[in-house]
Structure 1
């Protein structure tokens, strides 16, 4: 997948789940300043946990579950604010983009942020064996990290317990 495809400062949602992507998560992801939702669930990604994801200061939802990521969970994840998207300030004169290339190929381009409510955005979380799908307005309120079903090892960074805005954390 070409890096040039995603060099877009207005991309707020990137869903590449269930595409059998292989290799590691590329560094250019951290150059997306408005990225709020980043979903790479159930691909074949491997290698060390990508520390450059800690630079995504607009992030609300991160799902890297069901991959083959190894090493430890970096303590820098504790520095993310993980504020729900409705609490973030966006320039209302700018168009923001949603790109979803998950199991049902959907590409939404040119939508203004206030028109994204109720669009094709959806997030699925697995918690204690139950699968929950969130879409529409609830995504404006959600902040979560799902790193489950990887090959992570080591201690859980103590700072993860201090993420006061987070609503869901799965590291099983």
Structure 2
């Protein structure tokens, strides 16, 4: 009986090896094509990024899963890399974390990245990326952290961002964004950080913001064009540690409920048309 099953098991093992090798080769090919479109003046990627004999899992900035040996994380942050983000990265189908921040990538984001449905972290901040923020980010429903700030993105924040039900940290600061902050974003109950400062975003702060954002710790919207009143129930965002509303067009009274924010460490209200008093224990500017 054992002799009958042995050839079958051997064939199965060989097939598994071939599948594993071919899928790993797909990841390696994607990175080699990506490398061909960029400049690496510091040689930060090292010689292994030109090698086909070394396992891709041992390349600088690459992490792989323990079992399937597919690329799960790509961290090339702060390496001085120049060039465009090629569509080949869309073939890294097991990618969970993509960090290309602090480089000199330029151009628009390739739509092929929309196929990376396992992504939980995307950090493309502090580059020179341009165009509009793609609506297809809304399809990456596993995303927990999305950092796009410090680029040259223009236009409006797509409403599709509000589809990211697992999103915890969202940063699009220091750019030239216009329009309103999509109301759908204020319904993402998992959000802990919203950073949209230094843009030209307008609109009002929803009066029911704290009804949904129970975990919000950072709300930074300074240096924009927000108008209207600060929600009277802002004190119900109990976990707020940073509240930065300065240099907008807000008016009316400073809500007394701000005094209920016992975890608050940073408060900026200056550069608006606000009046009233705050809890004496708070340090503030307005």
Greater relative contact order structure (CA < 8 Å, 6+ sep): 1
Structure 1 counterpart of 2:195, from 124, 135, 146: 146
CA-CA distance at 1:77 after TM superposition: 1.5
| One of 218, 236, 250 as aligned partner of 1:168 | 218
1:130-145 equivalence runs, <5 A: 143-145=192-194
Offset of residue 161 of structure 1: 3.1
Q: Which residue of 2 aligns with 1:59?
A: 167
Please say if residues 122 and 146 of structure 2, whose CA atoms lie closer than 8 Å, have aligned partners that are also in contact.
yes
Secondary structure of 1:21 counterpart: strand
Question: Unpaired runs of 5+ in structure 2?
Answer: 1-108, 223-286
After the TM superposition, which segments of 4 or more aligned residues of structure 1 sit over 3 Å from their partners?
none
**1:159 and 2:244 correspond:** no
Answering whether residue 112 of structure 2 is matched by residue 4 of structure 1, we say: yes
Count how many residue pairs are aligned between Structure 1 and Structure 2.
113
Q: 2:133 touches 2:156 (CA, 8 Å); kept in 1?
A: no
CA RMSD in angstroms, aligned pairs only: 1.4
Distance 2:121 2:114 in 1: 11
> Could you tell me how far 1:52 is from its partner in structure 2?
1.0
2:69 counterpart of 1:19: no
Q: Deviation per CA, 1:12-35: give whole Å up to 9, x if none.
A: 000010111111111111111110
How does 1:81-100 map onto structure 2 within 5 Å? 81-82=189-190
Query: Greater share of helix residues, 1 or 2?
Result: 2
Is contact 2:114–2:139 with CA below 8 Å preserved after alignment? no
Q: 2:145 aligns with which of 37, 40, 47?
A: 37
CA distance in 2, matches of 1:6, 1:54: 16
Q: Mark the structure with the bigger radius of gyration.
A: 2
Compute the TM-score of the two structures, normalised by the length of structure 1: 0.62
Can you list the C-alpha shifts for 1:111-139, whole angstroms capped at 9, x where unaligned? xxxxxxxxxxxxxxxxxxxxxxxxxxxxx
Contact kept in structure 2, 1:73 and 1:157, CA below 8 Å? no
What residue number does 2:182 align with?
Answer: 74
SS at match of 2:202: coil
2:208 is paired with a residue whose SS is helix
